Structure formats: C-alpha cells, structure tokens
Structure 1
Amino acid sequence: MMVEGKMNPLAKWALVLLGLLSLILNIVLIGIHSSRAPKCSRERIHPLRGRHDDRTLVFADLTREEYMKVQQYLLKQKDLAISTSQITKPSENFLFLIELSLPKKAEVLAYLDEKGTKPVREATAVVFHGAKGYIKEYVVGPLDNPTYHRDVTKERYQVDVPINARPVTIGEYVLVFRFFETEIFSKLEKLLRESFGVDKKKTLNAFEQMPRGVRSGDRKTWVSFFRDMSGMYIHPVGFEILLNHESLNMSQWRIEKLFYNGKYFDSVEELQRAYDNGSVKKIVYKESPDYGSLKPRSKPLQIGPQQFYSEGARYSVSNNHVLYLDWSFAFGLSSLTGMKVFDVRFKGERIAYELSVQEAMSVYGSVTPGMIITKFLDSSIGIGRFAHELVRGVDCPYQATYVDTYRYIDAPLPVRFRNSICIFEHNMGQPLRRHFADFFHNNFGGMANSALVFRTITAIGNYDYMWDFIFYQSGSVEVKVHATGYISSSYLLPGSKTHGHQVAENVLGNIHTHFINFKVDLDILGE
C-alpha cells in the first residue's frame, strides 16, 4: 500500500509533463504550417488601374455643414418666415427639403474634360408656404457661403404648385393621430374593444393608402387599421376610414366614410347605431398568432460561407468616387429618388453620364376601399429618405465598404444615416465565360465572374427594396431591384379572393404589380 501511495504522484507528474510537451510540439507545428499557408491581406497588393479624381465632387451630396449653411441662410430671410420644427402646422411655413441642385450637364462635362470652369455648387430647398397656400422650390447658393435664393417653381413645373400637393409631414401626422383619438377612438370604445381588443394597453396601427383622392386638389386619405403586432401589414382588422384633411385647419377636418366588416357608413354615429342595434355583422375579437414576427424560429447549425479578399480589395472608394479594375464612377443618394451614379467610365471612356433610380410604383386590386384606390408612388414619400443602416453579414458582406449619408427631409436638422450605402466585389457564382474543348483539342478556358456591387436598401412602409448597380469586368452594367419585407394585405371579405390569395385567417394578400423606373443617360462615342 505504501508503494502505491508513492507511485501515484509520480505518475501524475509524468502525465502533466507529457501533456506540456505535446502542447509545445503542437504549437510549433501549427506555427510552421501557418507560415506556409496563404494569408488574407488587409492591404492592397496590386496597384489600382486608375486614380481618384476630386472633380467628381461636383456630383457629391451635401455635407452636414452645407445643409446647415443653407438652413441658416433661409431662416434669416424674413420674407420667407419659415419654421424648421417637426411639429409645424399645415397652416404655417415649413422648410421641408434641402438637397443638391445638379448643375447643367454641358457645364459639368466641360469641367470634367478640363475645358470649362467649375460649376457653382447650389442646393434645392422646398418650402411649404402654408400661410399663403402654395409650395415653392428655391435654388440656394453658392454653398460655401449662400448669398441668394431663386424661385424656380414655374421654371421647373410651368404651374403654381398648390399647398395640397404636399406630402404629409410629421407635423400633420401628429394632428391626424390626435384627430383619430378624439373623433374615432373615444367615440367607438365599445366597438373597438369587442371587435379588435382595443384597451389602455392595446391599440390599432394606421396604414394610409394613396393617392389621396382621384382629382387634382383632393386631400382625402383612406386609412386602414391593423393590429399593433410585428409585421402589422399582415394583421388587418376590417376597419377603414376616409379622412378629409383638405383644410389647413384641423378643426375643419372630417370623416367622410367608414368601412366596417364589408359595409360602408357615412358617419361615426351611423356605424355606432348599426353596431348597437345589430344591423351590421359584428367582428368578434380573437387573439392572432404572431406569424409576422422577425424573430428566428430555429437556430442556424453553423456560420454560413463568408467572403474575403485574399490579396486586398480590388476597388477603392474616396469621397464619392469609386475605382474598380477598368471602372470609375461618382455616386450620390437623393432623398426623393434614391441612389444614383454619374460619369461612369470604362477603360477611361465615359459610357454613361447618369444612371439613377427615379420611381417605384405599385398598383393594387381589392374589394376593400383603401386597396381599391391604392397606387403607391414612392418618390412622393421619398425613396432615398428611407435608406437606413445596412447590417453587416446580412444586407452586405462583412468586408464591404460602408458609406454614411446625410439627408435633410421633414427634419429640424440634417440627419446622419450610418452605413446606408455599401460597396463590395462579389463572385456571381457562375463563370463569366468558359469552354471545355474535347474535339480535336483538349483544353479549357474560363474566367471567374466577379463584379462590383453598389447597393442601398430602402424600407418604405411594408416593402424593402434592395437596389443594386452591378459593374462587370466585361464592361456591362446591370441595374437590379429586389423586393422583400412584408406584403400589403386587406381583411378577407366575400368576393375578396378574386383580387388575391388568402394567406392567413381573415387575411388576403392583394394582387398588385410593381413598376420601377430608372434614368439612363448614355454617352456612347460622344454625348
């Protein structure tokens, strides 16, 4: 027993020593092997084929400092008497938008080709003159020290633009929701509780339909109500109202129609009477499954494939200028229309002066009133306005280059949107060209299909549009848009299925069509 007691500690020490020797040997072997293995380089190994050009700043979006200079200049103009508060009333003057005013193409080309002077840098400012009943667009400049503002409304549109043509601002939305509370929710408490479960803790979310009427000058908006849940757009409740908000004074607003479970009513009181006397089929509240949740329903087994640049990136971004192999272009992001590129060159030759998003339109069909009329024109809300931060590894690869943008639209100050543009080179998953010869000659030739992707994603209500401009090594450019997010739905009623498909209990996915418009200004072998 004494011998065994002495041997056990010795055996333990021997095992520890062997373990340490094994660990040291493994570290040495790993070090030797890793020194032989190829390493990813953060720095570019091969030189770029072109050089960045600061002249492309002629296309650059306004900086935060430029936005502030324009705002401060306009605030000093006593004849404008404008407000920058987000809760400005419709009857007051409001500075709604500031963004770059592009100079004339001929002036820009002369400057880029070193034949002319640098164009004056200017901004466009949109002011809602609620006190006078019209909308004005002003060109303000020069941006380094603004000294003038010029009314260009007639020049651009050939008509005076009435105040009712304005989009709904945050200030007006504040009034709209206050109106709903006093004129609808407070008067229909019993109906809202029994039909939709509305109480102090639960409410309904409003989703407005467009256009706001069928004639010029109309400002009547159908508003559909949805459950306050994740992905509210697929939780309709069967209740809609037509709000007339033509007047700049909220006290003159009125509800023109209500729609409840397939029937129309001319007033809140008429709906209340029909509900109380049982002349309308009641919707009975029932808890809805959270099928619109964005939370993952299962854990991924492992991390998916990742992209990396083994010899550093083959592209470069400086200010608003991009170089990629034989390509070069300038870029920007309009609050109203979205992403745009200018002075697109391949092997030094300009092939396009401008390539830009212009409009995203969707047209719906339904038996419910809001969807019957709906034709969304997203530029009227602002496409680029909703280009939010992109998520690394989901929206774009981890190693993409991310660019911040500043915007001034319906805000008291310019707003910074971090990482709202991404740029990356991407293997497209199939060869650009290839051939295997097994007749007469046995050989193979192929070329990997890598391309540069310039991307933004705009989340406009229920839809997320992923916008890509793709630059291929072959000298071709692809313009691509992919729609994701949520469908827009309506409450399932008799006859609804002729206008869509049932996607959940009492939920219709409405038939609709998307139209996407781009501007392409090609300069092939000259202007």
Structure 2
Amino acid sequence: MIELKSRRPWVLLSSLLILVGVAAFLVFPLDHEQSPIGYASKHAAPYKAPRQNVWAELTEGEAADVNNFILKEFAHLDLKKHPKSARDNFIFVVETLKPNKTDAASYLYNDGPSPPERWAKAAIAQNLKDGPYMIYYMVGPLPISKDSVILPLEYVFNSGRNYVQNPMKDYTAIQDFALALAENVSDITQELLGATANRQNPSDPHGLLAVPRGSRVDAGGLTLWLQFYRPGMSSGARTLLPQGIYAKVDATSSDVNEWIVSQFYYNGVLYEDAEHFRAAVDGPDFERTPPNLDGPWTDTEDFESHPPGRELPPPVSVQPYGPRYRLDRKERFISWFGFEFYITTAQATGVSLFDIRFNGERVMYELGLQEAMAHYAGDDPMQGGLEFMDTFFGMGKNAFELVPGYDCPAYADYLDAEWHQAYQTHHTPNSICVFEYTADYLLSRHTSQYSVTASRNTFLTVRSVSTVGNYDYTIDYIFYMDGTLEVKVRASGFIFGAFYTANNTKSEDQYGHRIHEALSSSMHDHVINFKADLDVAGPKNDMVRMAIEPFTSTYEWDQPEQPKRNTMHLVEYPVTEEAGIDWPKNSGEFYIVYSSDEKNAWGERKGYRITPGTGMGSTPHLTILNSTTLGDSARWAEHDIWVLKQKDTEPRSADPLNFFAPHDPIIDFTKMADGESLEHTTSDTSYDGDLVLYFNVGAHHVPTSQDVPNTLMHTSASSVMFVPHNFADRDPSRGSVQGVRLQMSGKKSGGFAGEEHEPSGDLRSRQMGRKLEGQDRTKASYFGATYESAIKLPLEAFEPDMAGYSSKEHDVTDLSISYKVGAAGV
C-alpha cells in the first residue's frame, strides 16, 4: 500500500466509498469476461451513446446467420466447412460492410429517423477452371430475412472486378516440395550449416526450414527463391537466423510436381544446379561463411543482470478516482472533454474511429488504418525483392491481448474484439485499451512578474498492438484538450535480417551493417497508410498550402531610414486538384483544411492543420521509385499526404488482396488520385467540397547492433497530428485543464503586470481558482480538481497480478511463409 498525503479534508465523506471500490477497479481479471474496467465506469450510472454504432463489427450471431445464408444460397458451389486446400470452395471471411458515408450522414447529422441498412461483406474461396480465386460478395440487408440477397461486391473496387486469383494452389504440396528439396541437398546443408531439415518434425529447433518467397508473380505462375532458416517454426527469433543457402525454383506450372529446381546461391556465388554446388563445396578453393547460430544473443529478456537501481521498481501512473471519460461499451462510444467518437474494428485493418466531434462540431467522419507496408532492399535473392502488406495477414485479427500495467496503465479500460473466419468466431479479449494519461511535460506554463501558472497535459489514448510476424506495431489514437488529434505508430520486435557473407567483394554494406557473426541488418522502409475523412465544421472543406516565404517590402513608416526591408510573409496556395504532397523543406508550409463556410468569432475560417507529430521527425514515404515488386499495389506510399474527393465508391486506398496481384491490384490508388478538380465554388460543379486525406507514418529503418535482439519503440515512433487552426474562438483547454497558479512573495503578489496595486482589492479577479483552506491567498490557487485526502491503493494498482492474464496460445503470422495465410492456408 501507498499513501498520498492529504492537502484538503472536504471529500472525506467519499473516502469510504473510494477505499471499498479502489481494489475492484484496478485488479486485472481472472478471465476475459471480467474486463479490467475502472471502478467508476463499472459502477457509475450507465452512459449511452447518442446514436447507434452503424460501423460495428458483426456479432457472432450475425456472422453465423450470414454463413448459413451463403451456404444455402450457394449450395451449387458445394462450400466446405472444413476445407483441405485452396482447391475446395469455402467461405473465408465474413465481416461488416461499412455503410456508405452518404447513407450514414443523414442518420448522424440530419436527424434521420433510422440508421442505414446493415450489410455484410464475404470473401469466398472459389476454385474455377484456371485455379482458386478469392471473390468478394455483399450480403444483406441484415438481419437475414426473405428480402436478403447475395450480390457481387463490385462498387468499392476500381479494377472492374471483385476477385483476385490465388497464385498458391496447394500450400501443403509446396511445403512438401521444400522439404524434399532440403533432403536432396542434406549433405550440403550438413557440411555448411551443421543441420538438415526434419520432415518428421518441421518444428525441430535444431533443424532447418526451406522457406519460399515469390520473386515474380505472373498470370502464368511463380518464380520462387527458397532460403534456409533455423531453428524450427516455434522460434520467435527465426528472422534473425537466416542461413546463406538459396535455391531457385521454376514454379510456372500449376502442378507442383512439374516444378524445377535450378540455381543455387551461396556466399555471393551463383551455381547452375545442385551438382555444381556440391562439386564446388568439395573443391579446395571453396570459401565458407561462418554459421548463423542461435544462442543467448537472440533472447529478449535478461533475468540475470542487476545494475544499481534494478532492485527497485520504476514509477507508475495511477488513477485513484476512476476515469473521467464516459464509455458506452455496447456501442463503443467515448466522450471526453469535448471529444466524442465511435470505435470499430476490422480483421484486416484493426481499430478505426468514426464521427469524431469536438465541442459538438464535426471534425472527422473517419480515421483509420488502410495498409502497413514494409519494403526491403538487399543483394541476396530473399532481401532483394522482399515486401510485406500487413493487412493481408490481418492487423486486426493479429491484435492480441494487451498486457496490463505494461502495454497500458493498470487502470485502463479494456475492450474485446471479434472476427469471423472459416465459419468460426474468434474472440480476442482485452485487445483495445482506453485510458487517460498525464504527460511528463506541461500543456502550458508561464512565469510572470508576480506569479507562475502551470497546466498539466492530460490526454486520452485509444491503443491496440498488432503482432504481424516479426514486428509488433503499437497504434495510438491520441486526443488532447485543445482539440488536437494525433495518430502515432511505434514498432518493436525482431528485424528481418540478411545473411552476412564472408565474400569481401560483396556489396552488402550498401544495404545495412554487420550486426552479428553472420547477420547483416537489412534496410527497409515502413510506410503505414491512414485515412482521415475530415469534416471540419461540416463536410464542405478546402485544403490550402499556407507558405512562409521571404520577401522584400517597403513600408511608409520605415522611410527614409530603411528604404527596403527584408522580411517574410504568408502566401496561400489553394490545393485545387487531387494530388500527392510531401512535407516541405524547413517546415516552410502549413497544410490546412478549412471549412468553406464556417468562421470563428473573429471572422477567420475554421480549420485543422496537418503536421508531423511527436515521433522521430517528419514521416517518410517510399524511397524506391516505381518498385518492381509492389507494382501498382501501393502507389499511396509515394507521397506523404494525398488529398482526394470523398466518394462512396472509394472507401479505401488499398485492399488485402492487392498482395496477390501487385501488378493488377483490385484497388489501384492511381485511379483514385487521378487529378480531379477540387473546385466547388462555381455553379456548374457537381463536387460538394467533401474531401479525404490519406497520410503516411513510418520510418526509413536502417537497423544497427542496437536492434538486436529487438527494435526499441522510442527509436521507431512516427506520428501525424491534426491541430485546430482558428477552429475555436480561444484555447478550449483553458476550461478543462488541471493546474495551479503560484503567487510570488511581494507587495504585488498575485497581481497582473500593468495593474495598479490595491492592497485591499482582489488582484486575482480574473482567476477562477480557489485558495487553499487556512492559507494566505497569496500562496497558491488551483483550477480544476486536486487530490484532497489520503488514498490507499492496492498492490494491483502498481503491478497487476499476471496470474489473471487470460490469453491462450495462438498462431503468430509467419511472414516468411506468407502465402500460407491466404486461402491456401485455411
């Protein structure tokens, strides 16, 4: 227990209640149904959202009804409930089809009497004449009734189709092929690596895996490179343990039995086939590389070291009186100091927010992840063409249970998530947390002649963590008391390393650094795309680039002493057509979205500024030009910000199935950002001024030895902020922030500069604070509540009981065998 020293006694009447309840609200649950919500939100009067969450994910019952309806209506497809391979037809995914904005707007903003129709989206694996496909359908309206139908879902894709061919027709056969290949060269791998593949136990920690990676995707099939890795499939550190043997496979045939193993690559040398490789190994001039062996160097924990200070626990944040935000758990609606918004999830993209308002005015209709891409560079057959599109693996379904007291404060509210795949509903407990936090820096402060004022910086965070293969992405939506919003992403986990060869003629130092005996870092770009559908004080908006430019001017009051003055001024450049924009040099431009109609009390247009946030500097876009690997699947990564018209037919910048068809994606962003006019002031235009921004966060990651074993989050943080720009008449945080005004000793203490001192008068007449009881009024005065009495907190408030951690063992996405995650792997 710990005691916080009392400064005021007036809330003693509530102390008994607090002491009785405080243990309940900070103890982590024994199972997911005892979600670790705060005492106040658990026992206070229920809070209800003003309207229904029309974007909510399907319930388990809705998903079951949709599955059963498809099974009935598509009986001719002989859909399998337990598919054996991609050659079977089956329902892969069902989820909510988010309503069109135009349909939702009348319900949200125009007092529509009923919410828009609810529909589901289904991805069905269908085996056609030329192989397996993934095909999208829309099912509804819900609930399922005699009026419900199944239609091709086409209007949200600009490719002219609602399907993508699955290039991997039989993943089990591919695994068998890779094992057979490894067995055929087991003498070579034993000689060079000291290990062989174990067909009986592919997870053998002492064995090898031959992992395929497609280097070319064509309509006629694949060309694969297979690289050997150790140890087995259960190792989390396998991306640090590449082995330097690569095999090339001609996989253009649809029949895996017709695939041909051709070249081998080792230590910078390309061999025509296995026999030439074997002969070279036996030769006198063969140059070997050191082995890349596992060991304590890949351990993420050190239980043995005891530097001074580690014997004491670190400081933590506590919330003795419960949360100050209001939460409707059923509708996933939150209200906090002027902000209001809805939360929803999707298995591909994770958490999104809708209908964000501040002090009753509209700010954004939608804010959410679109895609998380990583693109590598290197001079070996694996790293040279490596890229990942993480929504394909599922940023939502791979958002696992958060660790209380570590991922989020012990006092956070935790929300569960559900997703529906292969006829099953998967429940992930406590995968989203909501909490208030007070920063280690102030929101504002000022020392004047007579007093100093300090305002605490308390903000609200909605957080989730998605573990996609080797990386853990912490995604935060942060709300500040002045109306600012921030989207922040931090990454940790194991890097995807490259094998470091012993060949001095190699060029691998162009792509990274040697970071272990036989391991090189591999440079890569993380570009993570978000959508921000801004409705600043309404849907009718304009975007401008407000530049800060030097210029020379003449002023009448400056004559004759200064004929010309070199200075600077603001120049506004309207963004009049859809375009991609990069952050300016020297931060020399402000990017602002203004309301076209609404102004504040001073006649200035209400706006929000878009700017790099509190991460490691300006957010990046993709370095590679016209990526031969990505094709047209991620053109949004080529600039920092994009401004587009809002269209119901363009709800997303990407689709998970773009990963299957990068050169002919189902959503081609270039067809969205096609230079259409954003002018809406003339009478002959059909555009109403409703614009959408797509913006990127991420990093140019060049790992160093400090990334072993894991990349650290404070070195990988990236964010974009949306900051009010004349949106209000004054700083809104003044009415909600907590702080203190300290009055300096002296005859005029507590007064304001420029005022005549009146000893008998109240020199703090402008201040809304109250003085400490029993103390002289010239000492301190507080605005907002303060802690008033001693509070005893249980141990769980500082170190939650992990015996109650409720997660079960699960499969973490294996990026190095990425095609398994598609229809072939179900």
Superposed, 1:486-497 pairs within 5 Å as 486-493=494-501, 494-497=506-509
1:186 and 2:183 aligned: yes
**Amino acid in structure 2 at the alignment position of 1:150:** L
Deviation larger for 444-453 or 76-85 = 76-85
1:458 and 2:466 aligned: yes
Please give the alpha-carbon distance, in whole angstroms, between the structure 2 residues aligned to 1:268 and 1:90: 31
Please give the alpha-carbon distance, in whole angstroms, between the structure 2 residues aligned to 1:93 and 1:348: 49
What residue in structure 2 maps to residue 3 of structure 1? none
**Amino acid in structure 2 at the alignment position of 1:397:** P
Cα gap change, 1:378/1:247 in structure 2, threshold over 3 Å: closer, same or farther? farther
What residue in structure 2 maps to residue 174 of structure 1? 172
- Describe the SS at the equivalent of 1:83: coil
Cα gap change, 1:487/1:196 in structure 2, threshold over 3 Å: closer, same or farther? same
Please give the alpha-carbon distance, in whole angstroms, between the structure 1 residues aligned to 2:164 and 2:85: 12
Deviation, 1:36, is 11
Contact kept, 8 Å, 1:93 with 1:131, in 2: the verdict is no
Deviation, 1:497, is 1.0
Deviation, 1:495, is 2.0
What residue in structure 2 maps to residue 145 of structure 1? 144
What residue in structure 2 maps to residue 23 of structure 1? none
1:241 and 2:247 aligned: yes
Post-superposition Cα deviations, 1:144-177, rounded to whole Å, max 9, x if no partner, equal 22632111247624334665356x6xx9543332
Please give the alpha-carbon distance, in whole angstroms, between the structure 1 residues aligned to 2:284 and 2:141: 67
Post-superposition Cα deviations, 1:64-122, rounded to whole Å, max 9, x if no partner, equal 2222222222222213332343x532222232222210111111111123225321111
Deviation, 1:190, is 1.3
Aligned length: 484
Superposed, 1:279-358 pairs within 5 Å as 281-283=287-289, 285=291, 287-297=293-303, 298=305, 300-317=310-327, 318-319=329-330, 320-358=332-370
TM-score scaled by structure 2? Answer: 0.54
Please give the alpha-carbon distance, in whole angstroms, between the structure 2 residues aligned to 1:144 and 1:365: 49
Superposed, 1:124-523 pairs within 5 Å as 124-132=121-129, 133=131, 134-145=133-144, 147-153=148-154, 156-160=157-161, 163-165=164-166, 172-182=170-180, 184-199=181-196, 201=204, 202-205=206-209, 209=213, 212-213=215-216, 218-228=221-231, 229-245=235-251, 248-276=254-282, 281-283=287-289, 285=291, 287-297=293-303, 298=305, 300-317=310-327, 318-319=329-330, 320-409=332-421, 411-438=422-449, 442-493=450-501, 494-523=506-535
Please give the alpha-carbon distance, in whole angstroms, between the structure 1 residues aligned to 2:361 and 2:44: 17
Greater helix share, structure number: 1
Contact kept, 8 Å, 2:339 with 2:359, in 1: the verdict is yes
Cα gap change, 1:251/1:307 in structure 2, threshold over 3 Å: closer, same or farther? same
Deviation, 1:396, is 1.3
Post-superposition Cα deviations, 1:182-201, rounded to whole Å, max 9, x if no partner, equal 2x122112122222232555
Deviation larger for 354-363 or 319-328 = 319-328
What residue in structure 2 maps to residue 19 of structure 1? none
Please give the alpha-carbon distance, in whole angstroms, between the structure 2 residues aligned to 1:437 and 1:390: 44
Post-superposition Cα deviations, 1:471-514, rounded to whole Å, max 9, x if no partner, equal 11111100000111111111113321111011101110011121
- Describe the SS at the equivalent of 1:55: coil
The runs of 5 or more residues in structure 1 that have no matched partner are 1-32
Cα gap change, 1:322/1:367 in structure 2, threshold over 3 Å: closer, same or farther? same
Cα gap change, 1:186/1:223 in structure 2, threshold over 3 Å: closer, same or farther? closer
Please give the alpha-carbon distance, in whole angstroms, between the structure 1 residues aligned to 2:259 and 2:347: 30
Please give the alpha-carbon distance, in whole angstroms, between the structure 2 residues aligned to 1:112 and 1:37: 39
Please give the alpha-carbon distance, in whole angstroms, between the structure 2 residues aligned to 1:388 and 1:83: 28
Identity score, percent? 28
- Say what the alpha-carbon RMSD is for the aligned residues: 3.1
What residue in structure 1 maps to residue 778 of structure 2? none
The runs of 5 or more residues in structure 2 that have no matched partner are 1-8, 26-38, 199-203, 540-826
TM-score scaled by structure 1? Answer: 0.83
Deviation larger for 88-97 or 498-507 = 88-97
What residue in structure 1 maps to residue 70 of structure 2? 74
Cα gap change, 1:394/1:266 in structure 2, threshold over 3 Å: closer, same or farther? farther
Please give the alpha-carbon distance, in whole angstroms, between the structure 2 residues aligned to 1:67 and 1:279: 63
- Describe the SS at the equivalent of 2:277: helix
1:121 and 2:118 aligned: yes
**Amino acid in structure 2 at the alignment position of 1:259:** Y
Match of 1:111 among 107, 113, 116: 107
Cα gap change, 1:165/1:104 in structure 2, threshold over 3 Å: closer, same or farther? same
Please give the alpha-carbon distance, in whole angstroms, between the structure 1 residues aligned to 2:473 and 2:466: 5
- Describe the SS at the equivalent of 2:177: helix
